[in-house]
Amino acid sequence: MRRSVTRIWPALLAVLLAVLPIAARAQAVQQTLVDRATLAVQEMLTGPDPAEQLAKLRDARAVMICPRVFQAGLVIGGSGGGCVLVARDGAGSWSSPAFYTMSSASLGLQIGIQDSEIMMMIMTDRGLSAVMDTQFKIGGDASIAVATAGEGVGGASTGGMRADIFAYAQSRGLYAGISLAGTTLTTDTDSNLAYYGRPLGARGIVVQMDANNPGADPLRAILGRFGAPMVAVLPPPTPMAMAAPARTVPIRPVQHAVTTPVLRQTLPPPPPPPPR
């Protein structure tokens, strides 16, 4: 019996040594995506005119960040890439990321290749619930309004529309822009498992906040910095409104009243009482 156990231990050790590097490489892939998402937030919110994106982020319930979406086409076209979803709780703290894949296909006269960064500001709980489904198709749910803004995303420009999701993109390449119509977002459960070491769904990560990986702290920090509500700064008081300097009032000496001495006088004794 002891000899059998002795033979099993080397086999188990060999299995562990073979599995650990695979798990480390798998987590490295997800960490690279998280790091790229952090850089994408930095680039898109410090561009030439980020005012609208910053305003939407301050009110957003969650954000989907796709740091590298490739689009290529030669008659038949398609796009795809990895994305991360982070949500904010009532106290303003951002969750760790849940992993997604983005994919789409198109048919028609097209040729070119491009690389895009996409941020989707999810403004409502309804929009967040729809995205957290196993698979969400943009434009496939009539109850979810997805608005595209800016020159980088194809679709109706809706800066002031009350939408559930606002999408922004920054593209490089031969295409004029990227269209999100018909794009599918799918939960990447394998990446969640690799990054957190246990099976987790998107809701458990971004809503219940049951998972944490320190590698995502820079992403959470930059969203906290850019997404913090603006604090009103009061202007300094004008010179007229400032308090006037204290005025010195001379103190007059107290004048004591002049008292007159009281004269003493001896009075005669009272008369005797009358006889009865």
Mean pLDDT of all residues belonging to the chain = 76
Distances from the Cα of 225 to the Cα of 13, 92, 151, 218, 220, angstroms:
45, 11, 25, 10, 9
Q: CA-CA distance, 193 to 29, in Å (whole number)? A: 12
Give 25 or 67, the one with higher predicted confidence: 67
In our burial notation (b when 16+ CB lie closer than 10 A, e otherwise), range 82-97 reads bbbbbbbeeeeebbbb
pLDDT tens, 74-129? 555 566 899 999 999 988 999 999 999 998 765 544 455 667 889 999 999 999 99
Concatenating the DSSP letter of every residue in the chain gives -HHHHHHHHHHHHHHHHHHHHHHHHHHHHHHHHHHHHHHHHHHHTSSS--HHHHHHHHH-SEEEEEEEEEEEEEEEEEEEEEEEEEEB-TTSPBPPPEEEEEEEEEEEEEEEEEEEEEEEEE-SHHHHHHHTSSEEETTT-TTS-EEE-SSSEES-B-SS---SEEEEEEEEESSS-EE-TT-EEEE-HHHHHHHHSS---HHHHHTS-----GGGHHHHHHHHHHSSPP---PPPPPTTTSPPPPPP-PPPPPPPPPP-PPPP-PPPPPPPPPP-
User: Do residues 99 and 84 touch, judged by C-beta distance below 8 A?
Assistant: yes
pLDDT of residue 109: 47
- Contacts with 111 (C-beta within 8 Å, 6 or more apart), sequence order: 73, 74, 75, 174
Give 165 or 19, the one with higher predicted confidence: 165
Q: What would the mean pLDDT of 259-266 be, rounded to a whole number?
A: 60
| Longest CA pairwise span in the chain (Å) | 152
Quick one: angle between helices 217-226 and 2-44, nearest 10?
20
pLDDT of residue 229: 77
Q: How many CB atoms lie within 10 A of CB 56?
A: 23
pLDDT of residue 104: 76
Specify the range with the lowest mean pLDDT, choosing from 38-42, 99-103, 245-249.
Answer: 245-249
Name the pLDDT band for 171 (thresholds 50, 70, 90). confident
Q: What would the mean pLDDT of 2-25 be, rounded to a whole number?
A: 49
Specify the range with the lowest mean pLDDT, choosing from 17-26, 108-117, 159-168, 170-179.
Answer: 17-26
pLDDT of residue 239: 60
